[in-house]
Amino acid sequence: MTQQQQTAGGDVRLAGISKTYGSFTAVQPLDLTVPQGSFFALLGASGCGKTTTLRMIAGLEEATTGTVFLGGKDITDLPPYKRPVNTVFQSYALFPHLDITENVAFGLRRRGIKSVKKQVDDMLELVQLGDFAHRKPHQLSGGQQQRVAVARALINHPQVLLLDEPLGALDLKLRRQMQLELKRIQTEVGITFVHVTHDQEEAMTMADTVAVMNGGRVEQLGAPADLYENPRTTFVANFLGTSNLIEGEIVSTGGDLVVAAGGGKLTLPRERCSAPTTSGGRLLLGIRPEKISLAHADDADDIAAGRNRVTGRITDSSFIGVSTQYVVESPAGTALQVYEQNIERDTRLLPGAEVVLHWNPAHTFGLDAAQDIDAGATSVEDAE
Amino acid sequence: MSLTEAPPAPPSQPEEPQRPKLRKPSTRKRLVPYWLLLPGILWLLVFFALPLVYQASTSVQTGSLEQGFEVTWHFQTYVDALRDYYPQFIRSLLYAGTATILCLLLGYPLAYLIAFKAGRWRNLVLVLVIAPFFTSFLIRTLAWKTILADGGAVVDVLNTLHVLDVTSWLGWTESNRVLATPMAVVCGLTYNFLPFMILPLYTSLERIDGRLHEAAGDLYATPATTFRKVTLPLSMPGVVSGTLLTFIPASGDYVNAELLGSTDTKMVGSVIQSQFLRVLDYPTAAALSFILMAVVLLAVTFYIRRSGTEDLV
């Protein structure tokens, strides 16, 4: 059951896989490799093709083109019941006429395994539901049903466990708890998890690797921290957390890039720019809200040299306990977001105050200005 | 402000402790459910309970139409009725049972198709299932007389295929005839009660979450196993109500036996009808009705107990 016992080469590999319904393309031809034993997240807003991709791995959806490989074996034409993968469905899809034991034992029994009791007991122990073995699904809470769904899939020791928004129906607190739980189980059993979600926080908390999907394509793929620090598209920059994007013109390409924006000059390291850099070209500068420091205009002279500066005026501030979020209007952008930790609060920082935003140039990233600056910025909390 | 330091209540406040008043629902509101029940109760009382009591008293009367009937608690009528007409009873249960099984075999695939595969044709197919009700029961049964008539297309085809040889050997038909045989009666019953099987089956199949099929497939169940382990058990409420809605009226039916059968295929419904309307032996007719009711009730109770669908949602 542990990772070591499984032979290497259990990767899931999608080669040119796509799905079209009539004239609608749900998934553009896609190449993707999920390494064995990893916790892989497909992240995107509803309708981005992430669930369809998952269902093609499960065999519940027929791929229009392309091939699905599992451990080097072509499984594209195998029906779901012949694939060594199991799914945790969005609504759990527990069998209402069977008790928890029989729900969990379902897969084992279908494969002709007679003595299921020990395995079922162990599995219910793993998901901490030992006392509920003889209840019916409708007698369980949402979180408990969710764990039954995980147990029912995991007991089969699939090569890959597919999770289709498994936490979507739970309330926030339970969701956070289940995220840690799922992560614990994954570490314990070492099976490859492919997790579909529209919650960027969930994806970053749980997964080793996140693939951000948009419009049937993978926009960017990488470790959560890497995606967050180095987004390569405006969609990723806005969808994963919040980004301040400032449009400017490249004025110098010797050494660090210097960009004229909002009446001032901002610099960024050349290696952090994913766009072509020619002098005179347009560029989008990105900076995360928590990386910005806020100083009152009167203290502007105290700011260390070499930092990027933008002057502006606070239009809104909201206190949220651990930090205060400010919205700043400036020539560089009408609604720049700044998150300040509440360590020593400057009482002058109220709406209407003239301020200087400053940050370390190394924290700035550069994006191609030809993209939609607002891509991925709309809220997806209510999606699906 | 803490509780202990609460200032004295301002004098303007009433002395009564501030307890939320429990408002009693007004008499009119409480009576509403009973008013709504009244029409139905009255209807059942006048058209069901009273006739039932009247029939019960008739069944223990003796006398004749000329001299009038009198309650003499003559329970022997029941014994005599059962002794004289038990073949018709057995036949009724047999025909109704066969028709119910045929309805189930024909109706289940159709209901399954409507529920899961019909897509945008679903409503159209459902209308087609109910369409026969736009014509009278009697006319539909009479039409079957033509369909199964001697020398008709159906008989010709069955004859050519030598199906009739087999059914005649089994005793279902008689030498190249379908009309006036048990097969005709069972066919008529099956046809007439099929919608009563399909509709409850469809309702309970339609309620099954399609994702359960996917989940079963994902857990190594072949389509056949998925049907056996998931779909069928979850559709049992439909199977039970469908079979009851078919079997109960079919066992008391006499139209099919009268129009499509012969004297050898009489069902208990025909006997009751002729006792009431032709022989004018009201006590025997009433006793037969009660025996039929008791038999059906017993059979149904046994069936529901056995099928164990109580805990199916």
Summarize the confidence of residues A95-108 as an average pLDDT: 95
Summarize the confidence of residues A298-327 as an average pLDDT: 91
Lateral strand order in the sheet of A264-268: A264-268, A257-261, A244-252, A282-287, A365-368
Which chain A residue's Cα is nearest to B312? A97
Percentage with pLDDT > 90 across chain A: 67
* Highest mean pLDDT pick, A107-116, A317-326, B20-29, B104-113: B104-113
pLDDT given for residue B17 in this prediction:
58
Residues B268-289: pLDDT tens digits?
Answer: 999 999 999 998 899 999 999 9
pLDDT given for residue B200 in this prediction:
96
pLDDT given for residue A371 in this prediction:
87
pLDDT given for residue A127 in this prediction:
86
ipTM of the complex: 0.81
Which chain A residue's Cα is nearest to B230? A95
Interface of A with B (CB under 8 A): 58-60, 79-82, 85-87, 89, 91, 93-97, 106-107, 110-111, 138, 152-153, 156
Q: Residue B66's pLDDT band (boundaries 50, 70, 90)?
A: confident
> Given the DSSP bridges, would you call strands A12-21 and A65-70 parallel, antiparallel or unpaired?
antiparallel
Comparison of pLDDT for A187 and B312, the residue scoring more? A187
Summarize the confidence of residues A140-156 as an average pLDDT: 92
Q: How far is it, in rounded angstroms, from Cα A66 to Cα B312?
A: 43
Residues B186-238: pLDDT tens digits?
Answer: 999 999 999 999 999 999 999 999 999 999 999 999 999 999 999 999 999 99
pLDDT given for residue B19 in this prediction:
67
Which helix or strand (DSSP H or E) is residue B39 part of?
helix B27-44
Phi/psi region, residue A5 (left: phi>0; alpha: psi -120 to 50; beta: rest), is: alpha
Which chain B residue's Cα is nearest to A102? B229
B207: in domain = yes
- Long-range contacts at A257-261 (CB < 8 A, ≥ 24 apart): A257/A283, A257/A366, A259/A283, A259/A285, A259/A366, A261/A285, A261/A332
Mean per-residue pLDDT of chain B? 88
Which chain A residue's Cα is nearest to B311? A97
The enclosing domain of B144 has a CATH number of 1.10.3720.10
Residue B11 pLDDT greater than 60, yes or no:
no
**Shortest alpha-carbon distance between residue B118 and chain A (Å):** 19
pLDDT given for residue A289 in this prediction:
95
> Given the DSSP bridges, would you call strands A257-261 and A85-88 parallel, antiparallel or unpaired?
unpaired
Per the structure, the count of domains in chain B is 1
Q: Residue B91's pLDDT band (boundaries 50, 70, 90)?
A: very high
Q: How far is it, in rounded angstroms, from Cα A150 to Cα A156?
A: 11
B64: in domain = no
Which chain B residue's Cα is nearest to A149? B215
Phi/psi region, residue A383 (left: phi>0; alpha: psi -120 to 50; beta: rest), is: beta
Contacts of residue A94 in chain B, CB cutoff 8 Å?
Answer: 215
Q: Are B234 and A96 in contact (CB under 8 A)?
A: yes
Which helix or strand (DSSP H or E) is residue B82 part of?
helix B76-112
Q: How many CB atoms within 10 Å of residue B304?
A: 14
Residue B16 pLDDT greater than 80, yes or no:
no
Q: How far is it, in rounded angstroms, from Cα A177 to Cα B61?
A: 76
Q: How far is it, in rounded angstroms, from Cα B170 to Cα A23?
A: 58
pLDDT given for residue B308 in this prediction:
67
B40: in domain = no
Summarize the confidence of residues B56-68 as an average pLDDT: 87
Q: 3-state secondary structure string, A233-284? A: CHHHHHHCCCCEEEEEEEEECCCCEEEEECCEEEEECHHHECCCCCCCCEEE
Q: How far is it, in rounded angstroms, from Cα A205 to Cα A124?
A: 25
Summarize the confidence of residues B164-172 as an average pLDDT: 87
> Given the DSSP bridges, would you call strands A192-197 and A24-34 parallel, antiparallel or unpaired?
unpaired
Q: Indicate the Cα dihedral angle A117, A120, A125, A128, nearest 10°.
A: -130
pLDDT given for residue A220 in this prediction:
94
Q: Are A95 and B209 in contact (CB under 8 A)?
A: no
pLDDT given for residue B18 in this prediction:
63
B208: in domain = yes
- Contact call for B221 and A79, based on CB within 8 A: no
Interface of B with A (CB under 8 A): 209, 211-212, 214-222, 225, 229-230, 233-234, 312-313
Which among B215, B222, B234 has CB closest to A93?
B215
As beta bridge partners, residue A195 has A41, A163
Q: Which domain holds residue B222?
A: 71-307
- Contact call for B218 and A106, based on CB within 8 A: no
Summarize the confidence of residues A348-371 as an average pLDDT: 92
pLDDT given for residue B37 in this prediction:
94
- Residue A333 phi/psi, 5-degree rounding, is -175, 145
Choose which CATH entry (2.40.50.140, 3.40.50.300, 1.20.950.20, 2.40.50.100) describes domain A242-368: 2.40.50.100
Comparison of pLDDT for A34 and A170, the residue scoring more? A34
Q: Residue A8's pLDDT band (boundaries 50, 70, 90)?
A: very low
**Shortest alpha-carbon distance between residue B100 and chain A (Å):** 25
pLDDT given for residue B169 in this prediction:
86
Percentage with pLDDT > 90 across chain B: 65
Residue A226 pLDDT greater than 80, yes or no:
yes
Summarize the confidence of residues A227-245 as an average pLDDT: 93
Helix A117-126 and helix A142-154, axial crossing angle in degrees, nearest 10: 130
Question: In 3D, which of A113, A130, A114 has the Cα closest to residue A122?
Answer: A130
Comparison of pLDDT for B63 and A290, the residue scoring more? A290
- Residue B228 phi/psi, 5-degree rounding, is -70, -40
Which among A82, A93, A156 has CB closest to B214?
A93
Q: Residue A5's pLDDT band (boundaries 50, 70, 90)?
A: very low
Q: Residue A55's pLDDT band (boundaries 50, 70, 90)?
A: very high
The two tokens of residue B304 are: 């529901």
Buried/exposed A159-180: b ≥16 CB within 10 Å, e otherwise: bbbbbbbbbbebeeebbeebbe
pLDDT given for residue A128 in this prediction:
86
Q: Residue B45's pLDDT band (boundaries 50, 70, 90)?
A: very high
pLDDT given for residue B4 in this prediction:
46
Write down the domain spans for chain A: 3-229, 242-368
Mean per-residue pLDDT of chain A? 89
Residue A243 pLDDT greater than 70, yes or no:
yes
Q: How far is it, in rounded angstroms, from Cα A375 to Cα A224?
A: 19
Helix%, strand%, coil% for chain A, nearest 5: 30, 35, 40
Which among B214, B222, B225 has CB closest to A60?
B214
The two tokens of residue B50 are: 């009273």
Residue B3 pLDDT greater than 70, yes or no:
no
Percentage with pLDDT > 70 across chain B: 91
Q: How far is it, in rounded angstroms, from Cα B122 to Cα B239?
A: 20
pLDDT given for residue A181 in this prediction:
87
pLDDT given for residue A370 in this prediction:
87
Summarize the confidence of residues B37-53 as an average pLDDT: 95
At residue A32, what is the residue type? Answer: L
B76: in domain = yes
B173: in domain = yes
Q: Which CATH class is domain A3-229?
A: alpha beta
> Given the DSSP bridges, would you call strands A354-359 and A293-296 parallel, antiparallel or unpaired?
antiparallel
Q: Are A37 and A3 in contact (CB under 8 A)?
A: yes
DSSP A3: G
For residue A236, give every residue at least 6 positions away whose Cβ sits within 8 Å of its Cβ, in sequence order, or none.
Answer: A212, A219, A220, A227, A376
Residue B22 pLDDT greater than 80, yes or no:
no
SS3 A337: strand
B216: in domain = yes
